[in-house]
Amino acid sequence: MTRLDHSLAFAESHRTALSCAAALLIAVVAWLDWLIPNTSVGYLYLIPILLSAAGLNTYQILLMALLCGWLREAADPLQGEVGYQAAFVLNPAHWVAGSWPRFIVAASGFATTGFFVGELNRRRRLLLAHLDEREKQMKLLKDAELKVHTLIETSPLAILTLDHSGQVALANESARQLLAFEDEPLQGQDVTPYLPILSRMLHHSGSNMRTNVECRGHRRNGDVFLAHVWLSTYRTSQGAALAAVVWDASENLRDREGAGLDAMMATSRVLIGAMSHEIRNLAAAAASAYSGLAGGAPEARPEQYQALGSLIQGLEKIASTGLRIASSRETVVADLGTVLDETRILLDPALREAGIQSHWEVRPGLPLVQADHHALLQAFINLARNSLSALENSQRKEMRIVAGMERDLVVVRFHDTGPGVAHPEELFQPFQPGAQSVGLGLYVTRAILRSHGGGLRYEAPETGSCFAVELWPAESAAQE
C-alpha cells in the first residue's frame, strides 16, 4: 500500500477524531480570515476537507463544502464595501454583487475535492476487497489442489495423464509401482512399451471420449499383467491429451478363475452324484432281473448272458464310485442376502428387456445358510430363467421373489404369473421328452440344493407357478 492508501485508511478508521479536527481547522481558518480583512485565506478550507472527506459520506461532504464556501465568501475582502470593519459578512442578504457566483464556484470546488477524496477511498476499499477475495480464492484453489494431489498420490489405483506426444505428464506413486518405476520418475517416459492401448486411444480418438478397456500391460522388469483401464481424452492448446486410471486385475483374474473352477468341480460332483444315483437304480433293477433269469450251472450259461452280468456289475461299480465322489464335500456357508443381491444384479437387465416386472421381498436379518455361494447362485439363476421362459407368452408378466424364515428353515420362493405346470409329478425327472421350461435344469437344481442338505419343491398357487427353495441355517450345522 502507498502512503496515500495508508492516509485514507487512517482517515476512515478514525472518522470521529478527524471530523473534530476538521471542525477545529475550519474554525481556525475562519478566525484567520476574519483577523486578516484585506487578504482571503479561504483556500485553506481545502485542508479540513482533504483531511476528513475519506470518512464522510456524500451528504456530509456536500454540507461541509457549502459551509466552507459560505465562510469563505463571508470573509471575502470585497464584502468590506458594505462598511464592516472586519469585512466578515455572515448574512447573505448583505453580500455585494457577484457574491453568489463566487460562493457557488467555491462550494463546487470544495465539494469536488471532497468527492475526489471519497472516490479515491472508495476505490481503495474496492481494491482491498478484490485483493481479499482473490487471496481467498487462491487459498481455496491451493486447498483444492492439495486435496486433489493428496487424493491422486494416496490412491491405490494407478493414475496417469499423457500429453499430445504420448509421454507421461503426471503419474502417482501407484502408477510408478504398477509399472516398476520405483527408482526413477515416470514423468516424460513413453507409455507405449508398457500400456500400448493408451497411445492408440490417444492418437485415434477424434473427440472427447470416455470408456473402459481391458488389456495386457507390461512392467519395466518384463512382467505381464491384466490391466483394467478407465480412460478419457480431452483437448489442450497443444493437442489431444489423455487421462487414465489403471487397475491391476491379475489377482482378480486368478481368484475368478479359481472360483469358477471350484464351482465347476462342485457342480460336476453334484451332477455325477445325481446321475450315479439314477444309474445305480437302473443297475439294481437290471441286476434283479438278471438274477431272476439265472438258471442252471454257470458254465452252461451262454457267453452273452455272462457278459450282460459283467456289464451290470460294471454299472454298479461306476455308480458307487460316482456316489463316493459326490459325498466327499466340505461344509460351506453362504450369505443368502449377498447371493440374492448378485442374483438380482444378473437378472434385472434380462427381466427389463423382456418386459417382466420383478418384486423382491427379502426380509432383513436372514441368517447364513448351509450352501456353496456359487452353487446357490447358479440354482437361483436356473429357477429365475425357468420362470422367465414360462412368462414369454404370458399376458401378465410378473415375477416375485420372497425370502424369509419358516419354522427352522430359510425359504426362498420364485413365483411367476405364467401358465403353470400341467404335470407337477414329472417336474424333477431328467431327460423328459419335449421338455422346455422344465426337465434337466430343475433336476440339476434340486440335486445342487440336496447336496448341501437343502431341497426344492413345487407349490401350486392359484395362478402361475411357484418353486420353493429350502435351506438350513448355518447355526443348525454348528449345533449338530
Q: Which residue has the cell 453334484?
A: 270
- Strands 224-236, 168-171: pairing is unpaired
Residue 410 has pLDDT above 70, yes or no: yes
Dihedral, CA atoms, 70, 72, 78, 81, nearest 10 degrees?
A: 60
CB 187 within 8 A of CB 170: yes
| 231 grid coordinates | 480412460
Structure confidence at residue 273 (pLDDT): 63
Structure confidence at residue 85 (pLDDT): 43
For the stretch 30-57, pLDDT in tens is 888 777 767 778 888 888 888 888 888 8
Structure confidence at residue 401 (pLDDT): 92
CA 52 to chain centre: 58
CA nearest neighbour of 323 among 270, 399, 252: 270
Dihedral, CA atoms, 283, 287, 289, 292, nearest 10 degrees?
A: -170
Q: Over range 186-199, report the average pLDDT.
A: 87
Partners of 230 in the β-ladder:
212, 245
Better pLDDT: 446 or 134:
134
Residue 424 has pLDDT above 80, yes or no: no
Residue 267 has pLDDT above 70, yes or no: no
Least confident of 85-89, 343-347, 402-406: 85-89
How many CB atoms sit inside 10 A of residue 428's CB? Answer: 19
What proportions of the chain, in percent to the nearest 5, are helix, strand and coil? 55, 15, 25
Structure confidence at residue 329 (pLDDT): 55
**What is the overall mean pLDDT for the chain?**
79
Percent of the chain with pLDDT over 90: 7
Q: Whole-angstrom Cα distance, residue 29 to residue 26?
A: 5
Structure confidence at residue 82 (pLDDT): 45
Backbone angles phi, psi at 157, to 5 degrees: -90, 145
Q: Over range 230-248, report the average pLDDT.
A: 87
Q: Which residue has the cell 455272462?
A: 306
Exposed / middle / buried, residue 309 (Cβ in 10 Å: 0-12, 13-18, 19+): middle
How many CB atoms sit inside 10 A of residue 259's CB? Answer: 12
Residue 139 has pLDDT above 90, yes or no: yes
Q: pTM for the full model?
A: 0.51
Structure confidence at residue 403 (pLDDT): 92
| Three-state DSSP class for residue 191 | coil
For the stretch 146-162, pLDDT in tens is 888 888 888 888 999 88
Q: Which residue has the cell 455585494?
A: 96
Q: Over range 139-144, report the average pLDDT.
A: 92
Structure confidence at residue 246 (pLDDT): 92
Q: Whole-angstrom Cα distance, residue 257 to residue 251?
A: 10
Residue 137 has pLDDT above 90, yes or no: yes
Structure confidence at residue 298 (pLDDT): 54
- Strands 210-218, 369-370: pairing is unpaired
Residue 437 has pLDDT above 50, yes or no: no
Structure confidence at residue 136 (pLDDT): 93
For the stretch 227-238, pLDDT in tens is 889 998 888 888
For the stretch 73-131, pLDDT in tens is 777 766 665 444 445 666 776 677 777 888 888 888 888 888 888 888 888 888 888 98
Q: How confident is the model at residue 59 (pLDDT cuts 50, 70, 90)?
A: confident
How many CB atoms sit inside 10 A of residue 266's CB? Answer: 21
| 253 grid coordinates | 483374474
